[in-house]
Structures are given as C-alpha cells and as structure tokens.
Amino acid sequence: MAFVAIADRDHEQEHHDPQTFVTKYIWSQDHKVIAIQYGCTAILVGLVALVLSGMMRLQLAFPDVFSFITPNEYLQFITMHGMIMVIYLLTALFLGGFGNYLIPLMCGSRDMVFPYMNLLSFWVYLVSVIILLTSFFVPGGPTGAGWTLYPPSTILPGTPGSDMGILLMLVSLGVFIVAFTMGGLNYVTTVLQARCRGMTLMRMPLSIWGIFTATILGLLAFPALLVSAIMMIFDKTLGTSFFMPAVLSMGQALDYQGGSPILFQHLFWFFGHPEVYIVALPAFGIVSDLLSVHARKNIFGYRMMVWAIVGIGALSFVVWAHHMYVSGMNPYFGFFFATTTLIIAIPTAIKVYNWVLTLWHGNIRLTVPMLFAIGFIFTFVHGGLTGLFLGNVIVDLPLSDTYFVVGHFHMVMGVSPIMVLFGAIYHWLPKITGKMFNETLGKVHFWFTFLGTYAIYLPMHYLGILGVPRRYYANGLSDFMPASVESMNVGITVAALIVGVVQLLFLYNLYWTLTRGKPAGGNPWEATTLEWQTPDTPPKHGNWGHTLPVVYRWAYAYSVPGAALDYIPQNDPQKGGDIEEGDHGKP
C-alpha cells in the first residue's frame, strides 16, 4: 500500500516550520493551531448567539417587561441566533475545529496536505464572521427574515434589515462557503491521500468517517446556498426577478415580475437538509469513538456504522422538500419526500442500536466525555422520534410553524451535536492542552446542561401540539391558548437562562485547565487511536517526531482476550489485537 505521500513530503517540513510568535500562533500553517483558532472563533460567535436566545426567551416569558426588545429586534435575534448556531458555530466547530485537529492526527499524517490553504481557510472564515457581526452595527441592523431567508419578504421594506443587513448576511455566507471549500478540499484530500502506512479506510476511526462524509456533503451542498445567495443579491441590487414575484409594497407596485419564491425554497433546502447531516455525521462519528473508549469495548458493528454514515449522507440529498410540505406541493411529491425521509430512519436506527449495544456489558467509565456521549443518545433519540411525526405530511401540516418544530430541531440538531461537542472537547482537551480538566466542574456542567435542555425543549412539544406558533414576538390573547402557555413560557425561560449561565462553568473549566490543570500524560483515557500515541503532548509541529506511525489494526481493540492491557494501540506491532474469525461481538 502506498500511503507514503506525506512521508515523501517530509523534506518540505522545514518550509513551514514556524519561526516567530506570529507564524507559530497567528499566521500559522499547523493544523492544530488552525483547529484551535477555528474552535475559539466558533465558540465566541456561538456565545453571541446564546445571548440572543436568552433575550428571545426573556421576551417570550415576560412580554411587556423588556422595552428594549422591539418586535423588529426579536426577529433579528431569531435570525442571527439560527444562522450563527447552524453555520458559524456547529459547521465551523465540527469541521474547521475537530476536522482540522483530528484528521491528520488520527490518520497518522504530519499535517493537512495543503497547509497554506488551510491557513487561508481560517482567515477567510474569520472575515465571514466579522462581516456577519458587522450587520449588527449598520443602519437598519441585521436581517430579521428568519434563518431561511425566504423571499420575497426578506428583501422588501418592512422586514428588519432589508437593506444592508440582508446584503451583509448573503455576502458573509458567500465568504463562509469559500472558506469552507478551501478547508473541505483539504480534509477530503488528506483523508484520501495522506494516511500513514497501514491506515486503510476500514481502519479509520469513525470520527474520521463522520467528518470525511460530512465534508463531502458540505462540498456538494453549500453550492446550493451560494447559488441562492448570489441570485438573491442580484434580485436585491440589480433588479432581476429570479425569486421576486410581481409584488405591491406599501401600496406601490415594485419593478419585479414573475419570479418564484418556491425556487428559492428548493435551492435553500437542497443545501439546508444536507446541512443537518453536515452537523450530525461528525457528531455520530465522534460519539461512537467516545462510547467505545469509555466503555472499554469495540464499537458494535463497525462496518455497519461506516455504511450507515455513507448511506445517511447519500439519502440526505433526496429529502429536502420535507421542509416544504406547506408550500402547496403536489401530493405525490409530498409522498415521495415523506418516504425518503422515513427511510433515513433505518440507518439512523442502526446507529442508535449499535451505540447502545456498545455500552452493553461494557466496562463503563462514567467520565465527563462519557456522560455527554450517553446524554447525546437520549437527546438524539427524542429528537429523532419527533422527526417521524414531522416527516409525515399529514402530521406535519398542523404542526408546521409551531413550537413542536422548534422543540424537534433543537433536540435533534441543536442539543445533540452540542452534547457531542462538549464531550469531544472534554475528551481531547488533555491532548490539546496537555492538562486535565476539573472533573467535578465538568460533571456539574453536564447535569445542568442535560437536564436543563429537557426542561427547555420537552414543554415546547406540548406548546406546539396546542398550536402555539413559532417566530411570534408575543402571543397575546387567543382562545386556543390556555393560561398554562404563559406559565410554561416562564418555566422554559428560567430553565434556558440557567442552562445559559451554566455554560460559564465550561468556560471557567477551560481557564482552570490551562492555569491549574494537572499534567494529563500522553494517553489519559487509555485509547487506541493514533492521536493518543504522539511522542509529545500536546503534539509538536509535524506531530510524529522523526518517523511516521505504522498502523497494524483497527481503532477498536479494547478488552481483547489474552492481551496484557485492556487496549492495544493501533500502532502497537504486537501480534493479535484483532478478534478471531467467528468471535465477532464476543470481546
């Protein structure tokens, strides 16, 4: 096998060995530094979105108290919260952050194959974030069109931020896509071409499989967002009518004619649905590794897990119109998309069963990463089950645009990936910093976050079934809403504020780790994958010292009968470490 490309490039190493503080920590080409830059930026902008959600909750619980939150601002908060969380936090942190950190380390490479492009990817991402945040300070403020940016209202006066705000949003998305494409080319090429000797595709940890497949989805799906963004910029600035129908605004006929808002919805969701899996697949992969390591057991059904990731990725391109059941589509169309949507439940259920079966009879260590991983199984199952309701056209119609939808997607693609992100950060923090975090603080953080999210999102399902509409600034008095809606909104807000404040514990724990954490050692979790076998912790530039690792087995050799330890690293040349034929599932 000729996985020698990076080895061949060893002589190039000096070319980008960092010399100064700036090239080492700021204008750095080291994938680990870039990963941390991506991670810090994403978390910072995510905190902005978290504060926005707190303000929204305050308004919903106490409608007449906070005079500084106007209806326009409420819509702007909703929009910016959604867009930041989905794109600038989750996508960037999973792929830019963990993708960057883990791919070269887990695949046994010295770096990404195009380090300079990797560097550019981060800085272009930072530019997109700055453009996005700038929109808070322009006349009219950021766009308040909802994160789906549906025309025609998005660019018409009356929608907040319909002048500068929406343009900055669209430009920022375009710049983000450029950054993502540069990063994505790197991730895919590195996985395909720069694995160390012995690291066959089917010996790769599932984290890499998740990140790799999600990157391919992103590379193929983000162009749909780019196309719709460019066409909407044309509609806004040049007066084309791609999406804009003939429309009266403030009593006056505008210059548009005949455009199709539905065309925008198709394009947007052709990106938007795969985006769910761009966020979910890395989470699936990473959580599989967390469960396996902390249950001291091989992942159950590894090959099926890989197939499920690939299958879910492929299916995610043929379900987009389930977001558009209420757009007046042909019922046969609705039937088709409901069927494809429900088919996705099969590989997803396989994954859930395999996670649970990995825990079965495992030697479970309830570490902080493990708590978050198990928490993820709960939140994901709950979010996934409500997806079955919404995937059926006839159930979706009455629930559409209610809090049921808000509860569903926050459980499935808000809380669940965030649980994995926290688990992953706690899991790899000892490798990133070389120090161990505060276990007690981590556990407090977990329990408040885990139980708190249930306190927030479970009641929302009930509100949705009552028919409480989402996106409304204030519900006012209406016959169909009992008084319990109001008190429930207060309860949700209190829970949300507590969960929000508890995240400060997480930030403090990061600070505590850096300043007071005890040295963690190279492999504190006794894990098999390559990133734990580096000669230095944190790994130095080039990762592997003089010689690249050689891989002898898969990533899940835990509790192997007859082995001296309950784990055998992938690069340990000792004989054995695999399961004998016929022994599968009986470690």
Q: Which stretch binds another protein (CB under 8 A): 67-75, 297-305, 466-474, 525-533?
A: 297-305
**What is d(CA 434, CA 514) in angstroms, rounded to the nearest whole number?**
9
Nearer to another protein, 14 or 581 (CB): 581
User: To the nearest whole angstrom, how small is the minimum distance from the Cβ of residue 12 to another protein?
Assistant: 11
The interface mask with another protein, positions 543-582, x = CB under 8 A, is -------xxxxx-x----------------xxxxxxxxx-
State which residue, 265 or 453, has the beta carbon closest to another protein. 265
Would you count residue 13 as binding another protein (CB under 8 A)?
no
Q: Which two tokens stand for residue 399?
A: 């629930």
Which residues from 276-295 bind another protein, rule CB under 8 A? none
- Between residues 482 and 573, which has the closer beta carbon with respect to another protein? 573
> Which DSSP state fits 558?
B
Nearer to another protein, 30 or 73 (CB): 30
Enumerate residues 152-181 that contact another protein by CB under 8 A: 181
Please identify, using beta-carbon distances, which residue of 22 and 192 lies nearer to another protein.
192
Could you give the C-alpha distances from 327 to 156, 336, 398, in angstroms and in order?
20, 15, 13
314 makes contact with another protein (CB under 8 A): yes
Cα gap 309→278, rounded to integer Å = 11
Distance CA 514, CA 530 (A): 24
Does 306 engage in binding with another protein (CB under 8 A)? Answer: yes
CA dist 284 and 143 (Å) reads: 33
Binding another protein (rule: CB under 8 A), the pick from 194, 344, 419, 495 is 194
Give the shortest CB-198-to-another protein separation in angstroms: 3
Q: How far is the CB of 522 from another protein (least distance, A)?
A: 22
Got the DSSP string for 416-468? HHHHHHHHHHHHHHHHHHSB---HHHHHHHHHHHHHHHHHHHHHHHHHHHHTP
Q: Which of 5, 395, 444, 481 binds another protein (CB under 8 A)?
A: 5
- Report helix, strand or coil for 472: coil
Contact between 386 and 460 (Cβ < 8 Å):
no
Neighbour-count burial for 296-326, b at 16+ CB within 10 Å, e otherwise: bbbbbbbebbbebbbbbbebbbbbbbbbbbe
Where are the alpha helices (H) located in 238-361, listed in sequence order?
A: 261-295, 302-315, 331-343, 345-359
Q: Which of residues 357-416 bind another protein (CB under 8 A)?
A: none
Q: How far apart are alpha carbons 10 and 546 in whole angstroms?
A: 9
Burial class, 581, CB count within 10 angstroms (exposed 0-12 / middle 13-18 / buried 19+) = exposed
Residues 201-230 that bind another protein (CB under 8 A): 201-203, 219-221, 223-224, 226-227, 230
Within residues 424-483, the interface with another protein by CB under 8 A covers none
The b/e string for 227-236 (b: 16+ C-beta within 10 A; e otherwise) is bbbebbbebb
Residue closer to another protein by CB (options 142, 210) is 210
DSSP annotation of 249: E
Fill in the per-residue mask, 66 to 105: x = in contact with another protein (CB under 8 A), - = not in contact: ----------------------------------------
Q: Which residues lie across from 253 on neighbouring strands?
A: 248
From the list 527, 572, 562, the residue with the least C-alpha distance to 292 is: 527
Asked if 491 is part of the footprint of another protein (rule: CB under 8 A), the reply reads no
Site string for another protein, 243-282 (x = CB under 8 A): --x---------xxxxxx-xx--xx--x------------
For another protein (CB under 8 A), the number of binding residues is: 77
If binding is defined by CB under 8 A, does position 302 make contact with another protein?
yes
- Give the nearer residue to another protein in terms of CB position, either 48 or 196: 196
CB of 82 to another protein, least distance (A): 23
CB of 117 to another protein, least distance (A): 9
Instruction: CB nearer to another protein: give 190 or 543.
Output: 190
Q: For residue 248, give the DSSP letter.
A: E
Minimum gap (Å) between residue 400 Cβ and another protein: 21
Choose, by CB under 8 A, the member of 26, 51, 192, 366 that binds another protein: 192
Q: Which is nearer to another protein, 137 or 335 (CB)?
A: 335
Q: Where are the alpha helices (DSSP H) in 158-300?
A: 164-193, 206-237, 261-295
The span from the CA of 166 to the CA of 164, in Å, is 6
Give the nearer residue to another protein in terms of CB position, either 232 or 420: 232
Nearer to another protein, 540 or 584 (CB): 584
